[in-house]
Chain A
Amino acid sequence: MSTATVPESQSRPDLRALFLGFSAVGLSGFGGVLPFARRMLVDERKWLTAEEFNTQLGLCQFLPGPNVVNLAVVVGKRNRGLAGAIVAPVGLLAGPLAIVLLLAVLYDRFGSLPLAQDMLRGIAAAGCGLLLAMAWRMGAAIKDKAIFLPFTALTVAAIAIFRWPMPLVMVSGLPLSGAVAWWKLGRR
């Protein structure tokens, strides 16, 4: 994809480019597509500068929901308004969705075979390991661990042991944890 003739700040993708660009991101990402989104948006097609990417991603990560889908909405809107905000996330999801549904059909047909069961259990074990590693990295990135990691322990107890509904846990936990963060921010 050559963007060399377009000045950096003025490269405005049309709807087709938005769809294809985000399709490529969706199809190339395994286990989280955010790094691929950054490479496409900032490095390859220069639809956003690195700084713009970080700012826009800030809101996408601040709000709940799938971050990359949110990011596609933002980039789509910036360039092509409402139509772009629809086309970009649809492009992101359409290809992977088709693949996943194809796999679902295969699963319905062959999933009960012992071989498939064994394979899926192995993948689940690997996936579990990846989740634990991700939790470890997220935890390691937290500053003031002595203050904040107890909230992690409380969340695990509430969700994994007591099986409380997550809305209840978030509604009671986030104000507490947020209040502590507010207090810490004031002391800096």
Chain B
Amino acid sequence: MAASPTATALRATTSPKPPDRFRTLLGVVAATAPAALLVIVVVLLQQAWPSVTHFGLGFLTGSAWNPVTLQFGAWPGIFGTVATSLMALVIALPVGIAVAVVLAEQGQAGVRGAVGIAIELLAAIPSVVYGIWALYVLGPWTFQHLESPVSDRFSSIGWLSTASPRSLFTASLVLAVMILPTLTAVSRDVIRAVPRGLKENAIALGSTWWETTWRVILPSARAGIFGATILALGRALGETIAVTMVIGNNYQIPQSIFSPAYTLASVIANEFTEATGDLYPAALVELGLVLILVTLSANVIALVLVRSATARAAI
């Protein structure tokens, strides 16, 4: 904001501190956020260094995890993390976009308001509560009514065989519930940012609600919804506690989606306090480093996409 010369003169005579110093102070305080991010990455890199130099790139492709013989590889963890997150996205995406489309509509304030609040409460529930619920309610239920019948029926198909109450699939279901609020909230904002004129033109040409949504609104919100999807993917990749409680903690590439597996974050959560020596904790931190680098890049890509999609509406 540009102040006139007289205002500047006035301020100079009345204020004990020149205004620029306040600005510098705030700028330095605000710098704690980027600084924290930088320090996190640097500290993790430094802590993981023994493992990084010992295993090199082979760490990413190795599939052993043996604290006794000090053989460590991240591949089963990476696989479990990516597989649960992608399955969660596949489950959550159609639901999330449907809710976002409904919430972005004009009118029916009562219903939309209630649904909006409910979705926000879904985001507020702590992940450990989702964990205990999935462990004692969701996991046993899906095992009995979904996993067992399906795996009995299709036992010849490898990736659908051998059901287990704690599995890749259960973890994906919980993750799907947990990323739904992110997916919905961001997609809703992106859909709202689609220029009104586009929608009005489509309606004026005689399009139905479905044709307007499917052929006009969603295509023009595509980049932003893609951003929202990546943002939700980032959340799913980093989610720890709920997944740790239901994934079954089996450090192998699982046979089927109903088998126990492991994720990067869960290995750290379960083993870090018991890790002794130099190489073992360093290998665990390197898992964290892999995780944070993947989520950081996903987040940056997603934020750039979402911002350019919502900024367009402001113009």
Mutual binders A and B? no
Q: Which residues of B contact A (CB under 8 A)?
A: none
